[in-house]
Chain A
């Protein structure tokens, strides 16, 4: 029930194409998500991991954001001073620190001086920078020059250090107690940008993102994608795949079994022999081979699975039931009033066998979901769709367990297990309802 509700919700809120494009990370949609962030609710467990803080100079006037443009008299030059200040009270350092610029200019780009002010008043100049285009960014934490400068700064103040510190560590740390395990200094931080603008009507805006270590309900992956999107969107994919596979295969097997059982004789022999050969062939290895040779779209994969399963065990087990039903009086009566064989097979026999098959059909759905997940996990599935198996695959490729990103593996795994439970219980319940009726028959 839950899964159906979930997938319905997902389908409504996220249209298909948008999901694919979201997942592919087209555009820079995810650029403001932290990488490999844990779910936010881990903070309930006593952690105090930082959330992402975003400040934008375009929102001048909101707390913490000031922007002042002062023209210099007698020239075309304008001075701009942007201060972005924020409170930082977390127990852990931010994962990244980036600045995004959006500028308007004709010929000469703005010149920016970027300063950092810590709560204890220390002011550090980070960099002098000429904007390189209308839209530009400065990955402060990744910038090697800044890092070397900062480490030299520390060395000059406190002597040679044992290790090279990360940029954000230096920027946020209490310098007196600087070490690998130190905690950040809590208080108000400021990013100060003093820029010089040239030309007619120039402008520049800065957006600073202090990346946290937690994000959203489910965290993020290595490509900054919000995992909740992947989990959510995996639901309808898994359900659609599993249900379609199970339904189609069960129905096809049923039809074959009925034709085989009803007509008997050579038709029966023929179908049964083909079934036996099919059943001997190893399903999974062949599937893996095909998936490895051809990069498969998930729906083609579905088709392949169906084709490989169609002459399966259902053909044999249902046949026994069919042979029993064939002897029922109403079948004989139908022949007496002129029903054709085809009519009897489809209108008289199959509706009778269908009810007992439904519980099995439902209980079989998880196995197809797992099949797809297994293939995706091995890297053989659809590379574009966000399926649970794919998420697990990504996590393993990125060494999630090694790096401690347990949530990345556990969340999709949990979804798979939930699916299995849901369908199995549904199948059992249906079995109980339908089988007593069978006894009447």
Chain B
């Protein structure tokens, strides 16, 4: 068993919204008490819809936001409250790949220069060594021949190529953790597979821990081992991907499974049995279990209180009252 590279404990990130000079401040509870561990070299997926808080969670882990409460421990060191100077070593160890390939690179820098930037900032090597590292990283992401890409500017490259550069930039400081926030959602379907495959290869080869943030549940099993499902600021279910897909424990996970189509011509004849409504606002989320207003298993006596943690048999958990009451989901892998 490998030791955890990242330990998140009771992490909270609230954004304050002030409505006026005298009214009480309100909070957008983007991340509300999340805890999990990430092992060295492991790839996990964080799945949630827009507004679930998943991006904020990623940003907070990277210390691009300050945590409101809780602890972030990276490689044994508590980085929750370090200031930006103290965090410089962390910046080398934890990297970010963003969603928008077109905005992720400064438009006025050549590709070579873009990749040199992190090296220059951290004063790694002289000019020659930097160029060599840049060339090597371009080869790693298969942007070859190098001279076809290094001197060009971002607007000359396609989305897929830009994302490769972003990946190269993330890896050039030899990080131990990479957080990829919807890295392929803006790319074409076939390019997605290419990029994700590339990331997977590099991840396995260099034994980097990866946190994929995505809304596409179907992709996750191809590129990661564990799955975390996020809803309204909370992680409502976690576990081994294959197990969760086969046997979801949380009603929201069940709803997701029922809602996602596989390409099947019979789909058009069936109405999906899924909850109505939309994800709640993080400004005033439902009390207790966040999913209870939409849940078909809603139990009025208990669901308005914070649900307990129910552990899966092997690993993982779900936040739900059902199991306390001896009930379970009627999940049968059918649509309706």
Contacts and interface: CB of A to CB of B under 8 A. Distances in A.
Interface of A: 328-330, 332-340, 343, 348, 351-352, 440-441
B88 interface: yes
In the A-B complex, list the 8 residue pairs whose CB atoms are closest, starting with the nearest. Answer: A338-B91, A329-B103, A336-B96, A337-B118, A329-B104, A351-B108, A329-B98, A329-B100
Tell which of B62, B104, B105, B166 has the most Cβ of chain A within 10 Å: B104
Contacts of A329: 98-100, 103-104
Contacts of B173: 337
A351 B106 contact: yes
B96 A339 contact: no
B91 A337 contact: yes
Contacts of B99: 329
Contacts of A339: 117, 121
Nearest to B118: A337
18 contacts: A328-B103, A329-B99, A329-B100, A330-B103, A332-B64, A333-B96, A333-B98, A333-B166, A336-B64, A336-B91, A337-B96, A337-B169, A338-B87, A338-B91, A339-B121, A348-B106, A352-B106, A352-B107
Interface string B150-168: 0000010000000000100
B176 to A, nearest CB: 14
Contacts of A352: 106-108
B153 to A, nearest CB: 12
B106 A332 contact: no
B92 to A, nearest CB: 7
B271 to A, nearest CB: 39
Given A330-B103, A337-B121, A352-B108, 13 more contacts: A328-B103, A329-B100, A330-B104, A333-B105, A333-B169, A336-B62, A337-B95, A337-B118, A338-B92, A338-B121, A339-B117, A339-B121, A441-B107
A340 to B, nearest CB: 8
Interface in B77-108: 84, 87-88, 91-92, 94-96, 98-100, 103-108
A335 B106 contact: no
Tell which of B95, B106, B118 has the most Cβ of chain A within 10 Å: B106
A123 B107 CA distance: 87
A332 B96 contact: yes
B98 A332 contact: yes
Nearest to A352: B108
B330 to A, nearest CB: 43
B103 A338 contact: no
Interface of B: 62, 64, 84, 87-88, 91-92, 94-96, 98-100, 103-108, 117-118, 121-122, 155, 166, 169-170, 173
A343 B88 CA distance: 14
A330 B100 CA distance: 9
B138 to A, nearest CB: 17
| SS of A interface (majority) | helix
A328 B87 CA distance: 22
A332 B64 CA distance: 8
Contacts of A338: 87-88, 91-92, 118, 121-122
B121 A335 contact: no
Contacts of B84: 340
A332 B104 CA distance: 8
Contacts of B117: 334, 337, 339
A27 to B, nearest CB: 54
Tell which of B84, B105, B117 has the most Cβ of chain A within 10 Å: B117
A351 B99 CA distance: 23
Nearest to A333: B104
A45 to B, nearest CB: 55
A332 B155 CA distance: 19
A351 B153 CA distance: 14
B108 A330 contact: no
Contacts of A351: 106, 108
Nearest to A327: B103
A339 B117 CA distance: 9
Contact of B155 (A336, A348, A440): A440
A334 B95 CA distance: 10
B58 to A, nearest CB: 10
A340 B95 CA distance: 16
Contacts of B94: 336
Nearest to A328: B103
A183 B91 CA distance: 93
A338 B92 CA distance: 8
A282 B88 CA distance: 47
A328 B62 CA distance: 17
Nearest to B88: A338
Contacts of A330: 103-106
Contacts of A333: 96, 98, 104-105, 166, 169
A329 B88 CA distance: 20
A329 B170 CA distance: 14
A339 B120 CA distance: 10
Tell which of A334, A337, A340, A348 has the most Cβ of chain B within 10 Å: A337
Nearest to B172: A337
Contacts of B121: 337-340, 343
Tell which of A330, A334, A340, A440 has the most Cβ of chain B within 10 Å: A330
A337 B88 CA distance: 9
A340 B120 CA distance: 12
Contacts of A340: 84, 121
Contacts of B106: 330, 348, 351-352
A336 B104 CA distance: 12
Nearest to A349: B106
B105 to A, nearest CB: 6
A337 B170 CA distance: 8
Nearest to B62: A336
Contacts of B122: 338
Contacts of B92: 338
Nearest to A338: B91
B107 A336 contact: no
A339 B100 CA distance: 20
A441 B153 CA distance: 13
A329 B98 CA distance: 7
Contacts of B105: 330, 333
A334 to B, nearest CB: 7
